[in-house]
Structure 1
Amino acid sequence: MHRLIPTGETTRPVAFAEVAQPLPRPDEALVKVEAFAPNRGETFLLEHPAPGWLPGKDVAGLVVQAAADGSGPGTGTRVVGHPAQGGWAEYAAVPTHSLAVLPDGIDHVRAAALPLAGITALRLLRTAGSLAGRRVLLTGASGGVGHYVTELATGAGAEVTAVTATPVRGERLADLGAKVVHDITDAGGPFDVVLESTGGTALPAALSAVRPGGLLVWFGQASRTPVTLDFFDVLNGPERVTIQHFHYAGGPYGPDLATLVRLVERDRLHPEIGRTADWTRTADTLVDLRERRIRGKAVLLTGGTER
């Protein structure tokens, strides 16, 4: 079968290789991958790929071999999955606890856009707690996570302010009900909850916008610039603010995938897909994703048509 493997090259991060089909463990199903979605974090890992690492965590396709232990969906079932790695291939072995069944009304493109970004958004909002009537500030908001957080938070009754780099990248967030600003210093405040994923100078600025006793959840560093906090600036800012580190990972992922699928099926969640292309265009798509030239998610089709 064909698989995309890392090259270590900045301008061409992946290349095709002919490899053996994966052999699933007893608790894994073999999935014929119809579509996959790269994540921006994967583009960073591709700059210095670890030996043996096979990229690919967000897939949608068809089970062609059910798990030997009897768990999970049967052969012929359409699924969305979140394997630990190896999803950018014609076939992927996926733990059954990281699969969810797809109804007929959800296509593989939208399904592939759900896993990492959608699971992150769900778990972020659980960390934030009840949002009805609360003011929420979201930085780095124009990516896949940002769109899901905005739609889910506004749907839960939050007043969301989203920070994006440009007006174009904020258009969809405004349509979802967010107030959009392009400089964090224009965000206003105070906010009950801040969801911060930019790092650099953005985190101290976001911290100053939290209300006394509020919460800042730090879940990324998209700027790739370390954060410097001055004790006296914090001392002179809002009192008793909690800074909480967040990382989405930790299975099982199947229940959260099933929740995301159910929200899409009920027309309460709408994946923002900025590009759909044949997987022969994966290398170029990864570069554009890394350089923020794609709004929302990019989805690659292993045997589909380009758009």
Structure 2
Amino acid sequence: MKAIVNTPAGAGIADVDDPRPAAGEALVAVRAFSVNRGELALLAARTDDWRPGQDIAGVVVEQAADGSGPPPGTRVVALVEQAGWSELAAVPTARLSALPDEVSIEQAAALPLAGLTALRTLRLGGDLLGRRVLVTGASGGLGGMQVQLAVAAGAQVTAVARAQHAKELLRRGATSVVASPSDADGLYDLVTDWVGGASLAAALAKVAPGGTVVVGSGNPDKTPINIYDFLGHEGARLVSYLSYAHPEPPGPDLAILTGLVAARRLDPVLGLVDAWTKLSEAAQALAERRITGKAVLTIG
């Protein structure tokens, strides 16, 4: 089969051996995958014939030998550890979910890492009905889903994004859109920040007493924090979220996400859809932040 292989000369399509699924793994013919900005750093670091790829969607070719998971012919979405950017992938059945008919392969491919992170980080804020939520980086794939899911949970959402994204974010349910966390009005029960640096410093000043600030990987710039930053924000907590450390398998939450897409309560914004032969162009556009939403590449 063919797959993306990363070498010192760059990532490209090469011939590799077909995967050999373990007993609890389904063999999936990958039809589309999404490229996450975090994977760009891995491509720069892992050049020894590494096989990248986590977010995939496709069709089951062989059901898992232990009888778990869906039968052949079922369209699925999955989050794999690596090697997903390929024509075939062996996927543990706990890491995949069948797709409703209303969800396209391209939409599904955009969901796994960003969608799961959005869903799980919002849960860290508890019951959001009637609560105030501040989302930084709201024009990106992750931030855009955080906004939509928080709105669906009944929150009043302020999105932090550039002015050109305001109309779209308001259409998706945001109460207001500001250029910086420091421009946001009042205090918030939940703040999510994947930008870091100065953005996180400003976001900390917007958390309500007893509220939650969730931080994840993004800008590598460090943010200095002083205990006096929490005067007026007493009892607030700062929580880190690292997707690889989440203890629960992705399958059930992927089913929730695809159900929301099918019900038109979540739109995984597709900022770019192209053939997988255009990987280098898509990666460059992501690195330069020229894509709003997710970058999805198709196979076949």
TM-score, scaled relative to structure 2: 0.94
Structure 1's consecutive aligned runs of 4 or more residues displaced over 3 angstroms after TM superposition are 50-53
Q: What one-letter code is carried by the residue in structure 1 that aligns with 2:84?
A: G
Q: Could you tell me which residue of structure 1 aligns to residue 242 of structure 2?
A: 247
In the alignment, which of 158, 161, 168 is matched to residue 161 of structure 1? 158
Change (3 A) 1:235 1:155: closer
Q: Does 1:77 align with 2:74?
A: yes
- CA deviation string 1:47-67 (max 9, x = no partner): 111646421111111111111
Q: Could you tell me which residue of structure 2 aligns to residue 275 of structure 1?
A: 272
Task: Write the distance in 1 (CA, Å) between the matches of 2:238 and 2:6.
Answer: 35
Matches within 5 A, 1:103-252: 103-164=100-161, 166-178=162-174, 179-220=176-217, 222-232=218-228, 234=229, 236-249=231-244, 250=246, 251-252=248-249
**Identity percentage of aligned residues:** 46
In the alignment, which of 88, 98, 104 is matched to residue 101 of structure 1? 98
Q: Which residues of structure 2 form unaligned runs of 5+?
A: none
Tell me, yes or no, if the aligned pair for 2:6 and 2:49 is still in contact at 8 Å.
no
Q: Does 1:62 align with 2:67?
A: no
Tell me, yes or no, if the aligned pair for 2:7 and 2:50 is still in contact at 8 Å.
no
Give the SS at the match of 1:37.
Answer: strand
Give the SS at the match of 1:258.
Answer: helix
Q: What one-letter code is carried by the residue in structure 1 that aligns with 2:3?
A: R
Give the SS at the match of 1:121.
Answer: helix
Tell me, yes or no, if the aligned pair for 2:125 and 2:189 is still in contact at 8 Å.
no
Task: Write the distance in 1 (CA, Å) between the matches of 2:211 and 2:266.
Answer: 27
Tell me, yes or no, if the aligned pair for 1:135 and 1:193 is still in contact at 8 Å.
yes
In the alignment, which of 30, 33, 50 is matched to residue 30 of structure 2? 33
Task: Write the distance in 2 (CA, Å) between the matches of 1:153 and 1:190.
Answer: 16
Q: What one-letter code is carried by the residue in structure 1 that aligns with 2:241?
A: F
Query: Paired residues, what number?
Result: 297
Change (3 A) 1:80 1:139: same
Change (3 A) 1:162 1:65: same
Task: Write the distance in 2 (CA, Å) between the matches of 1:100 and 1:137.
Answer: 30
Task: Write the distance in 2 (CA, Å) between the matches of 1:40 and 1:123.
Answer: 19
Deviation at 1:170, TM superposition (A): 3.8
Q: What one-letter code is carried by the residue in structure 2 that aligns with 1:285?
A: A
Give the SS at the match of 2:76.
Answer: strand
Of 75-84 and 272-281, the range deviating more from structure 2: 75-84
In the alignment, which of 252, 269, 294 is matched to residue 297 of structure 1? 294
Deviation at 1:26, TM superposition (A): 1.1
TM-score, scaled relative to structure 1: 0.92
Q: Could you tell me which residue of structure 1 aligns to residue 2 of structure 2?
A: 2
Deviation at 1:237, TM superposition (A): 4.8
